[in-house]
Amino acid sequence: MNSGAVLFVALAGISTFCASAFVAPTFSEIAYVVESQNAEGEDDGTSRSYALINIAFAFGFIVGSLLGGYLYTAIGVMWLYILLGVIFLIFTPYVFMFTGERGKFIVRSNQEK
């Protein structure tokens, strides 16, 4: 296997892992934000917030496929994966800034059942 193929497989694996690792914490964060913004017993709009994130995913798949195909023909597959990695690195700090309760990164509930 040549070095280009090894790098391609490594970058494809890393980008796939990062994309799939995004889903679980995103949905739990959406539930937390919706719960924190609404009073007890109020219609919280959880289903609406999940619908909006699904619309965003669908829009991303449509636009991403078209843009990815264009960029593949314009700059090639290697630069496409490098661009994707740079985008992941740029947006990683924002994930840490906007995740969890304000001022705390991980909050565990101490309530006993």
- pLDDT tens-place string over residues 9-26: 888 898 888 878 877 778
What is the gyration radius of the CA atoms in the chain, in angstroms?
19
Residue-range domain boundaries for the chain? 3-35+43-98
pLDDT per residue as tens digits for the range 32-87: 777 777 777 666 777 888 888 889 889 998 998 899 899 999 999 889 889 888 99
Q: How far apart are CA 78 and CA 57, in angstroms?
A: 24
- CA 21/CA 41 separation, integer angstroms: 32
The whole-angstrom separation of Cα 86 and Cα 75 is: 15
* Tokens (6 digits) for 72: 């593949």
- Rounded CA gap, 7 and 77, in Å? 11
- φ/ψ region of 39 (left if φ > 0, alpha if ψ in -120 to 50, else beta) reads beta
Give the contacts of 4 (CB within 8 A, at least 6 positions apart): 78
pLDDT in tens, 92-106: 888 777 776 665 655
